[in-house]
Structure 1
Amino acid sequence: MRIAIAGAAHPHARYVTAEIDRYDEFELVAVADPDRVVAEGYATPYGAKVFTDHQQMLDEVHPDVVMVAGIYADRGRAVVDALNAGSHVLADKPLCTSLADLTAIAEAAERNSRHVVLLLEKRYYPETLAAIELVRSGELGTIHGVVSSGPHKLNRPSRPEWFFDRTRYGGLLNDLAVHDIDAALYFTGLTTGTVSGALAGEPAFPRYGTATLTGPGVLITAGVDWLTPAASPLHGDYRMKLTGTEGTAELQWARHRLILTTNEKPPYDVPLPPGHRPAELPLQALADGNEPDITTSHSLLITRLALLAQQSAESDNLPIPWSS
């Protein structure tokens, strides 16, 4: 399977090279990035072609799969162009930075019968895999509450200028809340409700925010920020607590723990299974001609919820109806 990278501004482009390094069936054939030095950095070890324009790359190389990991505001166009070229798309989050881009992606995916997979790596963490088994077993009963915390180190000196430009970055909630929204829906099965957002901090670059989703019997609150102290040993102490009628489960992703407490059992650490690399299962599914478990419709839904939370936060904070 011939893979290309369209935009490599974020190091998550390496999600696909990690699979290319492991499997002979995957080949990196080209890398495009407006910064030729960046493109060469990814392409040279694999003898891949180098481009500074992703459309030229698509026209010349015709890849089977395109990984999109460029500047956030440029991703929507790259995804649409890749789909129109007949390629499946794997995308780092955020998939795009506007609802208009999202509509264009949905139309292109349907028109060309190609998959779009948002690489939601928390879905494949050992803690998440163990927690979904708890949920399915019924040990937590009916889950009514999900609260998550997604702190991150800003590392401001190392961030590029575009990262602090709202028109190119797309907003805090659109960037960071996606993973926890996905995990919360995964655990609760919520398919309809309202979504709202709130932001705090300097208006030009808010560094703290929340996305809130409500639905029948469920309340989800996802807090995200760029406020992890510089001296912290962790980039982010990512956590999520599931509260059900029969018990609670706390996922401590950064500490590799899942703590279960029920009406019959005191707190204990649940054994964790092996996890999966972010692009491992999606690429294998595409190679086998199957639909990835993170489907196009789900990738679009999670992106839409994050964009709506961002829209709410930047306007009146009012909840916006949604349905899958």
Structure 2
Amino acid sequence: MKTRIAFLGFRHGHVRDAYRRARERPDVEIVACCEEDAGVSAALEREGAVKVTHRDHRKLLETVQCDAVVVGTVFGKRGAIIADSLAAGRHVLADKPACTSLAELDRIEELARTNGRAVGMMLEMRDAGVFIGMRRLVREGAIGEVRTVAFGGQHPLLSATRPAWYHEEGCHGGTINDIAVHGIDLIPWMTGLRLSRVAAAREWQCGVPQGSHFKNAAQLMLVMENEAGVIGDVSYVSPDSHGYSLPLYWRFTLWGSRGVLETSLNAEEIVLFKNGESSGRALPPGPPDPGGYLESFLHEARGERGASADAARLTTAEVFAASRAALRAQEAATLGLRDVEL
């Protein structure tokens, strides 16, 4: 039987990936699409790519028979819509971030637990072959115990095309919560080590229009359960003309007791610098898993068990853990806190 899915919001480009993948799956039926912003709804109609059936998500939840929803509205509105959907008994797949406050996340977790619903997230970097391969190498002990991690997730600002709501008060919710959640999810998944605390975090403005509420630059320091340190930069400062094509885009360097691993999202290989050797080795990536975030979500929502339920799959518990850690790091940046336990 097909899983019936409704889409709630198309305010970020990421949701188009989920829409396309859902349309291509024979085991999924898209039964409704809601967009509450009149301008965006009209644009979708003109494009002809999405047929908007509803302008009120609550009305859709009341009247449309569906098993799950995909939420892709403005960041600051997602928490309430996800809570409404869970309260209505639907499973939820969210673009990241799922919400912009710890109070919203508490409510979402409570509703998911009470109603037995799955909550997935579009953490698609887990699906990239280079990171799947890096995970395997770390787990096999290629660099020994992980001692430090550095990652760069810098993005282009792209002011000419980035949605205007990024600059509006209460809509974005913070660059750490927006971008760093990818690294916060990926590092424990690759290393098997839990993040234990936020040592420090900072967020500021640079290069945004006057009057903007968007703090587009952000850095953070985290500590893992074995006391290994993590340093990350997720600022919107990458040159616009290069788009997302830079070889430095989502670059991860893991330093261990027996060597170093490095790769990036746009790389075609993983480089291993092994202690005892004098030159690096270029290793092939693992097999990519395109759309793995959707497969993981459907697998859990359907309550399936078996061989495909492997440890690499993204679960509701991991979505909540990454979201909570990102929100705590965001709070540390906003309030100037240090050594925040996760």
CA distance in structure 2 between the aligned counterparts of 1:182 and 1:159, rounded to whole angstroms: 25
Does the 8 Å contact 2:61/2:88 carry over to 1?
A: yes
- Among candidates 268, 274, 283, match of residue 262 of structure 1: 274
- Among candidates 261, 276, 285, match of residue 249 of structure 1: 261
Q: Deviations over 1:259-285 (max 9, x none)?
A: 111124431221123312244422441
Q: CA deviation at 1:296?
A: 1.4
Is 2:324 the counterpart of 1:304?
A: yes
**Structure 2: stretches of 5+ with no match in the other structure:** 207-211
Corresponding residue number in structure 2 for 1:281:
295
- Among candidates 157, 160, 167, match of residue 157 of structure 1: 160
- Among candidates 263, 279, 285, match of residue 272 of structure 1: 285
| CA spacing shift, 1:42–1:136, aligned 2, 3 Å | farther
Is 2:205 the counterpart of 1:201?
A: yes
CA distance in structure 1 between the aligned counterparts of 2:262 and 2:45, rounded to whole angstroms: 38
- Among candidates 9, 22, 25, match of residue 24 of structure 2: 22
CA distance in structure 1 between the aligned counterparts of 2:29 and 2:330, rounded to whole angstroms: 37
| CA spacing shift, 1:34–1:235, aligned 2, 3 Å | farther
| CA spacing shift, 1:10–1:225, aligned 2, 3 Å | same
| CA spacing shift, 1:277–1:235, aligned 2, 3 Å | same
Q: What TM-score, normalized by structure 2, do the two folds share?
A: 0.87
Does the 8 Å contact 2:79/2:108 carry over to 1?
A: yes
Does the 8 Å contact 1:39/1:50 carry over to 2?
A: no
Is 2:181 the counterpart of 1:178?
A: yes
Corresponding residue number in structure 1 for 2:69:
66
Does the 8 Å contact 1:127/1:251 carry over to 2?
A: yes
| CA spacing shift, 1:233–1:85, aligned 2, 3 Å | closer
Q: CA deviation at 1:53?
A: 0.9
Is 2:114 the counterpart of 1:111?
A: yes
Q: CA deviation at 1:317?
A: 3.7
| CA spacing shift, 1:170–1:305, aligned 2, 3 Å | same
* Structure 2 SS opposite 1:168: coil
Q: CA deviation at 1:227?
A: 0.6
Q: What TM-score, normalized by structure 1, do the two folds share?
A: 0.91
Corresponding residue number in structure 2 for 1:137:
140
| CA spacing shift, 1:26–1:257, aligned 2, 3 Å | same
Does the 8 Å contact 1:31/1:42 carry over to 2?
A: no
CA distance in structure 2 between the aligned counterparts of 1:285 and 1:160, rounded to whole angstroms: 32
Does the 8 Å contact 1:30/1:43 carry over to 2?
A: no
What one-letter code is carried by the residue in structure 2 that aligns with 1:136?
R
Q: CA deviation at 1:12?
A: 1.3
* Structure 2 SS opposite 1:213: strand
Does 300-309 or 249-258 show the bigger shift?
Answer: 249-258
Does the 8 Å contact 1:149/1:238 carry over to 2?
A: yes
* Structure 2 SS opposite 1:169: coil
What one-letter code is carried by the residue in structure 1 that aligns with 2:26?
D
What one-letter code is carried by the residue in structure 2 that aligns with 1:132?
R
Alignment of 1:30-41 (within 5 A): 30-36=32-38, 38-39=40-41, 41=44
Q: Deviations over 1:161-189 (max 9, x none)?
A: 22012411001111010001111122232
Does the 8 Å contact 2:220/2:232 carry over to 1?
A: yes
* Structure 2 SS opposite 1:199: strand
* Structure 1 SS opposite 2:58: helix
Count matched residues: 322
**Structure 1: stretches of 5+ with no match in the other structure:** none
Q: CA deviation at 1:306?
A: 0.9
Corresponding residue number in structure 1 for 2:209:
none
Corresponding residue number in structure 1 for 2:129:
126
| CA spacing shift, 1:168–1:204, aligned 2, 3 Å | closer
Corresponding residue number in structure 2 for 1:212:
221
Q: CA deviation at 1:316?
A: 1.8
Does the 8 Å contact 1:62/1:87 carry over to 2?
A: no
Q: Deviations over 1:121-172 (max 9, x none)?
A: 1111101110111011111100011100011111112223220124110011
Corresponding residue number in structure 1 for 2:99:
96
Corresponding residue number in structure 2 for 1:313:
333
Q: CA deviation at 1:25?
A: 1.5
Corresponding residue number in structure 1 for 2:5:
3
Does the 8 Å contact 1:32/1:51 carry over to 2?
A: yes
Does the 8 Å contact 2:195/2:222 carry over to 1?
A: no
Does the 8 Å contact 2:11/2:73 carry over to 1?
A: yes
CA-based RMSD of the aligned residues comes to 2.3
CA distance in structure 2 between the aligned counterparts of 1:287 and 1:118, rounded to whole angstroms: 12
Corresponding residue number in structure 1 for 2:82:
79
| CA spacing shift, 1:18–1:47, aligned 2, 3 Å | closer
Does the 8 Å contact 1:140/1:262 carry over to 2?
A: yes
